[in-house]
Structure 1
């Protein structure tokens, strides 16, 4: 039996609004879902990040590695907590340097979904699976 794929709507994220915060929340959820961890743990961890106000690349970049490890642990994202914390910091820094910290700016630079997928995969920790999950909800 196949499990239902969790959507942005399931997380109460209004991706269709096109607003930066909604797009980044879905990107972060996709980032967590795209790794070898259960959906339940990914959702719990995403909620911990939301509860702690980490709703943008700037806010994640402003955290210490140890604080991110602790938040990942709180969400039970323990197996990869140290490498994920490092990747999250690199992801946030990359978005700040390349796209003014905005996933919406990255999206605007792509002409189609293939181009967007390629641009997403330039980000540390984003591979084909994370890209595929994120693109399920994004309209170009």
Structure 2
């Protein structure tokens, strides 16, 4: 597996809106699947760069059919239906919960290990996805949890 970084995808992990963390979570979700890294990267670029799904709200508003098509264009053939469903669930839940979790980190109401457990609660997110995500997000999350302020 090729090691892909947030920088490789043009993701600003320090984006104060939290969208950098969302984009890296989305990329980690795709990269963490049993699929070639090049296909996962192409799927990320198709979703975010070409179709503008750069926030969880935008992804959550897309139809299942659109997500299946975007994944198929990237080379997902075998798991496009289940991945599309899980992506929609991920985006919907992240849309409603990510900001509050980042705020809880910044004000000391949550620690990084609790945040990690929260991620594992998403359907389709397993230890590999969390490992990939935390590889780059851990430092950002730690800084937010010790800063005392998110924005």
TM class, shorter-length: 0.7 to 0.9
TM-aligned CA distance change 1:104 to 1:30, over 3 Å: farther
1:30 corresponding residue in structure 2: 28
What is the distance in 2 between the residues matched to 1:11 and 1:86?
23
Shift of 1:108: 3.8
1:42 is matched with 40
Aligned equivalent of 1:106, options 94, 101, 112: 101
Relative to the length of structure 2, the TM-score reads: 0.81
8 Å contact from structure 1 (residues 120, 126) kept in 2: yes
Residues paired across the two proteins, number = 134
**4+ residue runs over 4 A deviation:** none
RMSD: 1.7
Q: Which runs of 5+ in 2 are unaligned?
A: 143-151
Query: Where do 5+ consecutive residues of structure 1 fail to align?
Result: none
Say if 1:137 and 1:73 are closer, same or farther in 2 by CA, change over 3 A. Answer: same
Q: CA deviation at 1:104?
A: 4.4
Q: TM-score, normalised by structure 1?
A: 0.86
Of the two, which has the highest radius of gyration?
A: 2
Q: Which segment is superposed worse, 63-72 or 118-127?
A: 118-127
